[in-house]
Amino acid sequence: MDRVLTLEFVRVTETAAVKAGRLMGKGDKMGADQLAVDGMHSILSTVPIDGTVVIGEGEMDEAPMLYIGEKVGAGGTEVDIAVDPLEGTNLTAKGQDGSIAVMAIARKGNLLHAPDMYMEKLCVGPRAKGRIDLTQPVQENLRRIAEGLERGIDDLTVVILDRPRHQEIIDECRSAGARIKLITDGDVSPAVDAGIEGSGVHVLMGIGGAPEGVLAAAALKCLGGDMQARLIPYTDEERKRCWEMGIDDINRVMTLDDLVKGDDCIFSATAITDTPMMRGVQYFGGGARTMSVVMRYKSGTIRFIDTFHRFDKKAKWSIHL
Ligand code: VTB
Ligand code: MG
Ligand code: MG
């Protein structure tokens, strides 16, 4: 993929964020999600790619836009795309930290077609690469991660979704001495942060969405971090979906390269509300300011992009609520 595409993808997540951010705190998660989807969809259609959505808003019959299998782009390199136009709808609806507009792109066939089900994840940064093992107990993983980061377990901050299903791993982290940040939603942003030195997040663990897992994997691959994951189907229907998608050993521990194959991927995210590394969208009379992070695996370059948008210059910013 051409490096010039990198900036094109930032424009896509920026637009989704500026649109959805308008509804911050309004208690309307569906409305915010719809604005993000519209924004992402409209800019994607101008990007010079021949793209197929492989992770999106749902199946064709349930999502009018950015559904799985939808062709997007103005024509060009053949790529597969994973999108979550508004990752953390509740967070945006309540004006809480951690919601982002996010997408990942890879060559055709290189993104795991993760079905909409749960996935167990363990995400770390470059200094803990090669040390994690999802089949080992939490405490053993923390010991190895701390060793990689040359510190004690009590100097690690682990992010975990605050759910009853995580009580056991929360207890294990606590008894190992790790600091914990329990979040109500949105595990993509902290997974990315785990890969960025200085973010204050060292580990993301626990069970969240599988589509979100693939997005996190694309970022961690670009960042040189590491991730292991396992699909957690709860129903026969979900197990069937896995087989249909060509995943036969459902319980297998997947590595970063199983989630995102090849040596060509790009990841872009724009903050809607604040994240540890980025300010959420700020609006001022006639414009908005966004912060994004965009990365490309080939070059390993990570860019934080701080953008001013002028609403009087482009019709695309007008939204009718
Ligand atoms: C997960 C997580 C997401 O929603 O999908 C979660 O990956 C849903 O989990 O980041 P529950 O069913 O336990 O609520 C998010 O937190 C937000 O989309
Ligand atoms: Mg979403
Ligand atoms: Mg999501």
Q: Residues lining ligand 2 (ion), CB within 5 A?
A: 84, 86
Picking from 296, 310, 316, the residue whose alpha carbon sits closest to that of residue 6 is 296
- Enter the tokens of residue 31: 């409305």
Task: Decide if pLDDT at 318 tops 80.
Answer: no
Task: Decide if pLDDT at 51 tops 80.
Answer: yes
Euclidean distance between CA atoms 230 and 239, whole angstroms: 13
What is the average pLDDT across 137-152?
A: 98
Sign of CA dihedral 309, 312, 317, 321: positive
**Which residue puts its alpha carbon closest to atom 9 of ligand 1?**
208
DSSP-assigned letters across all residues of 155-185: G-EEEEE--GGGHHHHHHHHHHT-EEEEESS
- Residue 321: the pLDDT is 46
What is the average pLDDT across 278-299?
A: 96
pLDDT tens, 156-215? 999 999 999 999 999 999 999 999 999 999 999 999 999 999 999 999 999 999 999 999
- Residue 319: the pLDDT is 64
Euclidean distance between CA atoms 193 and 276, whole angstroms: 8
CB 183 within 8 A of CB 89: no
CB 103 within 8 A of CB 51: no
Task: Return the H-helix or E-strand segment holding 36.
Answer: helix 29-44
- Hey, which residues does 227 pair with through a beta bridge? 123
Ligand 1 residue neighbourhood (C-beta within 6 Å): 87-88, 161, 163, 185-188, 208-209, 212
Euclidean distance between CA atoms 219 and 268, whole angstroms: 8
Around Cβ 71, how many Cβ atoms within 10 Å? 10
CB 179 within 8 A of CB 158: yes
Cα–Cα separations (whole angstroms), residue 320 to 37, 40, 99: 14, 16, 22
pLDDT tens, 63-99? 899 999 999 999 999 999 999 999 999 999 999 999 9
Euclidean distance between CA atoms 136 and 212, whole angstroms: 23
What is the atom index within ligand 1 of the atom nearest the CA of 119? 7
Q: How confident is the model at residue 315 (pLDDT cuts 50, 70, 90)?
A: confident
ipTM over 0.95: yes
If you measure from the C-alpha of residue 176 to the centroid of ligand 1, how many angstroms do you get, rounded to a whole number? Answer: 26
Percent of the chain whose pLDDT exceeds 70 = 99
- Spatial neighbors of 211 by CB under 8 A, at least 6 apart, are 55, 82, 84, 114, 116
- The helix/strand/coil state of 223 is helix
If you measure from the C-alpha of residue 53 to the centroid of ligand 2, how many angstroms do you get, rounded to a whole number? Answer: 14
pLDDT tens, 230-276? 999 999 999 998 888 778 888 899 999 999 999 999 999 999 999 99
